[in-house]
Structure 1
Amino acid sequence: MPSFPLSAKETFRIHSGTTNVRRPRRESRINFRLMMAKNRHRSPREIPEIPFAAPAGTPAGIEVMPLAELRRRVSEDTLARPQRPDFHHLLTLTAGELRHVVDFNGHALRPGSWLWVRPGQVHQWGDLARAEGTLILFQQDVLDPGTATAARVDDPHAPVVTTPAAADAEAVTMAAEHLSREFQALGHLPLDIHMAALRHLLAVLLLRLAHLTVPADSPAPEPDETYLRFRDAVERHFTATRRVEDYAHMLGYSGRTLARATLAGAGLSAKEFIDRRVVLEAKRLLAHGDETAAQISDHLGFITASQFSKYFIQRTGRSPIDFRKGIRGLVTDVTPGQAEQGRNDQKG
C-alpha cells in the first residue's frame, strides 16, 4: 500500500529526490537568504511525509483501488492521522458520503464529486464506513511533461474538490472506470504495454478534470506565464524571502508586472499571495508538528520568534500558540466534517 503505514513493523523507503532549479542572477542579499533557508535544520518530529511505494508485482508509480480495499488494508486510526504524501490522491465516490480535511478545510464528498490532494498538502480521512468509490494514487513522473502541464497537476492552488457538470460527468466517469479496469488487468499485456496504457488512461482522466465545462458567463482564462513562474518561485523560496521585490528581481519582471499577473491569475495581490503561502505552512507545522514557535519561526525565515508571532497575528487574528491550542482539538478529537467547509470547492 503506497500511501499509509500499516504497522510499526512496516519500513517505508524514503526517496529523497533533488530538483534542478534554474538559478537566474540575483542580488547578493537574495543569494544569502536562499543559502540560509537551505542550511536550516528540520525537526525530526514533523508532519509524516509518506513516499510512494508500489506493492510488489504492480506497475511503478500508479495504483487504483476501491475504497473497500483501503478499509481492509489500513486502520481507521491510521487514516485519521494527518499525513503529507509526496504523491497525488484522486478520489471519487459512487455511493454514500465522506468528509475529508485538506489543509484545514473540510470537504464533503458525495457521489459525482472528485477530490484531488496534491503532493505537499496535509490531509486526513474521515469515516469511510459509509463511502464507496475509487481511489487513484499516482506519482507525477508517470505523466509526460506536456500532459502534466496541460492537466495542471503541480498547481497547489487548484480546487481540491470539483463536481463535473452533466456535460462532463459521463466522460469523466468512463475514463476512471477504464483506468480501473486496465489496472486490474495486470498480466493480460506485456508490462511495458500495460504501463503505457495506464499512463494514457490516467492522462485522459486528468485532462478531463482539469478542463471541465464552465458556464458561458463564468470564463476561466488560462493563467499566463508570468503568474505561473511567480507561483512556482514562491513555492520554492517562500522560506527565504517574503518580498515581492525579490521575486521580481529573480524572475526578471517589475513589481507592477507581478502584481497585475497575480491579480489576474489568483485574484490576490502578489504580497498577499506570498503571505498566504507562508501562513499555510506555519499552520501546518503548528497543527501537526512538535516544533516550538521559535523553531517554526526559524524554519520560515523570520529573524526572531516575536517577528513571526506578530506576522501570524496580523494575518490570522491569533497568536501561533493560541492557534495550536485551538486546532489540536479540531484535528485529533473530532471528525473532519466539523472543520471549516473548504472554499475551494468548484461546482459546475
Structure 2
Amino acid sequence: MDVVGFAELLERGRRRGITLSAPQRPSFHHLIHVGSGALRHTVDFSDHTLTEGSWLWVRPRQVHRYFPDDLAAARGTIVIWQPGFPTTDPGQGPPHDPSPVLPTGPHARATRLALRHLTHEYADLASIPLDAHIETLRLLLSALLLRLAHARPEAPSPASADGPFRRFHDAVERDLCRTHRVGDYAAALGYSVRTLTRATRAATGSSAKQYLDARILLEAKRLLVHTEASSAEIAGRLGFADPGDFTKFFRVRDGRTPLEFRTVARGVG
C-alpha cells in the first residue's frame, strides 16, 4: 500500500523516467482524491474532470493516464494498494464503474476525515508494531471505501450484490476470451437468456449481448494500447477464430479498424 501526493507522484515519475501521460495498465488500485484545483484523468478511454473534493477509483487492469500539467497545478492524494489488501471491497455503483464521486453533506466530511486518518496512520510507522500498523491501514482503507460506496446518489444495493447481473459480470470477466455467446453464459449460470438480458438491462441499460460485446471491445482496446501485439494476435487472444472477424467486429462498434484506433489512442497530449 502507498499514499502519495500529486507533487510527489510527479517527482517519482521524473526520477524513474516514467511518462505519466502515457497509458498505464497497473495490477493495483488507484484511489485519486482532489483536494484543490481540478484534475483531468482518462480511464478506459473515457475522459473525466475531477473537481475539488472529487474521488476517482481506478481498478486493476483498467487502462488510465494522467495529465502532468494538471497534477502540477492541483493538490491531492492518491491511495495505491494491491488487490486483496482491504478485507472488504464494496465497489462503486456498477462493477468497475470509473465515474468520479463528489460526496456532499455529511459524506464529504466523513470521507475527508477517513482519508486524513489513513494518511496519518500511513506516516506513523514507528509508534506501534508493524503487524498492528498494517492491520490498522487495512481497516482504515476499508472504512474509506465503504464511505465512498455510500456517497453516491444511489448507493449500491446489498440485495443485488449476488444477483443474475453480478454473476453474469463475473462470468464475462472470467470467460470473455472463451465464448462470445450469451447463451453459453446463461447455460453455465443456470439462467435463461431472457433473465440475463432483463437483469443486465436493469443494471446497465444495455442488453446482455450489448454488454458482452462492449466488454470484448474494451479488452481489445486495452490490448491495442498497452501491448505491442498485432491485430491478428489480439484476435486470437480474445477468442476470434479469424482475424478478419475481429476487424469487422471492432469496426462495426468503434467505426475504426483496430490499428486506426491504436494510432489515435496512443497519442500523448
TM-score normalised to the size of structure 2? Answer: 0.91
- Alpha-carbon deviation of 1:324? 2.3
Q: Tell me which of 56, 74, 77 is aligned to 1:134.
A: 77
Take 2:264 and 2:98, find their aligned partners in 1: how far apart are those partners?
Answer: 26
CA contact (8 A) 2:41 2:65 kept: yes
Shift of residue 154, structure 1, vs aligned partner: 11
Is the Cα–Cα contact under 8 Å of residues 149 and 156 in structure 2 kept in the other structure? no
Match of 1:133, as an amino acid? G
Q: Name which of 46, 60, 64 aligns with 1:105.
A: 46
1:282 aligns with 2:220: yes
Instruction: Tell me if 1:173 matches 2:112.
Output: yes
Give the percent of matched residue pairs that are identical in Structure 1 and Structure 2. Answer: 47
Q: Pairwise mapping of residues 232-243 of structure 1 onto structure 2 (< 5 A)? A: 232-243=170-181
CA shift at 1:320, angstroms? Answer: 1.7
Q: 4+ residue runs of structure 1 moved beyond 4 angstroms?
A: 153-156, 218-222
Deviation readout 1:166-204 (Å, 9 max, x if unpaired):
231011111000000011000101112211211111111
1:125 maps to which of 58, 66, 89: 66
**Equivalent residues of 1:117, 1:160 under 8 A apart:** no
Q: Distance between the aligned counterparts of 2:234 and 2:93, measured in 1? A: 25
When structure 1 is superposed on structure 2, of 287-296 and 182-191 the one drifting more is 287-296
What pairs with 1:25-174 in structure 2 (closer than 5 Å)? 62-75=1-14, 78-127=19-68, 128-144=71-87, 147-148=88-89, 151-152=90-91, 156-174=95-113
Check whether the contact 1:118–1:154 (CA below 8 A) recurs between aligned residues.
no
- Report how far residue 68 of structure 1 moved: 2.2
Q: Distance in 2 between matches of 1:200 and 1:291?
A: 40
- Aligned pair in 2 of structure 1 residues 154, 267: CA closer, same or farther (>3 Å)? closer
> Higher relative contact order at CA 8 Å, sep ≥6: structure 1 or structure 2?
1
Bigger mean CA deviation after superposition, 204-213 or 222-231: 222-231
Structure 2: how far apart are the matches of 1:204 and 1:137? Answer: 15
Structure 1 or 2: larger helix share?
A: 2
Partner residue, 1:271:
209
TM superposition shift of 1:213: 5.0
Cα-to-partner distance string for 1:288-314 (whole Å, 9 max, x where unaligned) = 322221111111111111111111111
- The residue identity in structure 2 corresponding to 1:105 is S
The correspondence for 2:133, drawn from 190, 194, 214, is 194
Distance 1:327 1:73, change over 3 A: closer
Contact 1:165–1:213, Cα closer than 8 Å, also in 2: no
Q: 2-side partners of 1:221 and 1:210: how far apart? A: 10
Q: Which moved more, 1:270-279 or 1:193-202?
A: 193-202
Residues 328 and 135 (structure 1), Cα distance of their counterparts in 2 relative to 1, 3 Å cut: closer
Query: Is the CA contact 1:263–1:270 (under 8 Å) kept in the aligned structure 2?
Result: yes
Contact 1:168 1:213 (8 Å CA) reproduced: no
The aligned counterpart of 1:305 is 243
Structure 1 portions without partners, runs of 5+: 1-61, 335-348
Instruction: Calculate the TM-score normalised by the size of structure 1.
Output: 0.71
What residue is the counterpart of 1:244 in the other structure?
Answer: 182
* 2: CA distance, partners of 1:219 / 1:168: 12
- Cα distance between partner residues in 1 of 2:39 and 2:155: 30
Q: Offset at 1:205?
A: 0.4
Q: Which whole-Å CA distance do the structure 1 matches of 2:175 and 2:35 have between them?
A: 40
Confirm or deny: 8 A CA contact 2:250 2:256 kept in the other structure.
Answer: yes
Identify which of 124, 133, 149 aligns with 1:185: 124
User: Residues of 1 paired with 2:226 and 2:157: CA distance?
Assistant: 36
Structure 2 letter corresponding to 1:251: L
Distance 2:91 2:52 in 1: 24
Work out the number of aligned pairs and report it.
263
Unmatched 5+ stretches in structure 2 = none
Q: Distance in 2 between matches of 1:72 and 1:138?
A: 20
Q: Report the RMSD for the aligned CA atoms in angstroms.
A: 2.0
Counterpart position of 1:292: 230
- The whole-number CA distance in structure 2 between the counterparts of 1:138 and 1:178 is 16
